[in-house]
A = this chain, B = another copy of it.
């Protein structure tokens, strides 16, 4: 099931890097509500198109979005599987911690009678 760890690392690198910028997160957020062309996507932001295109490129390289051009307009849409991949790593890690936390909670509860939570 786990195919070549190495590339998965690189995928996570570019995924998290793509999400580490407010402009790019806003674009993802916007695209989750529906596909849109580049110009329209760029309107809420103060930067010029070239700078904005770099952000789109980062998002596309990371796999978070896909784009296709018809005529002179390029339409962007989100690839939700990639978003799930990032979430997957996090929840996997949390599971590790939570496993410990649950065991700790079990231990604490086995020592003290349960009272109301603070």
Contact = CB atoms under 8 A, between A and B. Distances in A.
A12 interface: yes
A92 to B, nearest CB: 9
Contact of A90 (B21, B33, B86, B101): B86
Interface in A1-51: 9, 12-17, 19-22, 25, 28-29, 32-34
A91 B86 CA distance: 10
Contacts of A9: 22, 25
Copies per complex of this chain: 2
A56 interface: no
Interface stretch (A66-74, A76-84, A109-117): A76-84
B13 A16 contact: no
Nearest to A17: B20
Interface centre among A19, A91, A101 (most CB of B within 10 A): A19
Interface string A83-115: 110110111011011001100000000000000
Given A17-B17, A19-B20, A90-B90, 13 more contacts: A9-B22, A12-B19, A16-B20, A17-B20, A20-B20, A32-B96, A32-B100, A33-B100, A78-B97, A83-B90, A83-B93, A83-B97, A86-B90
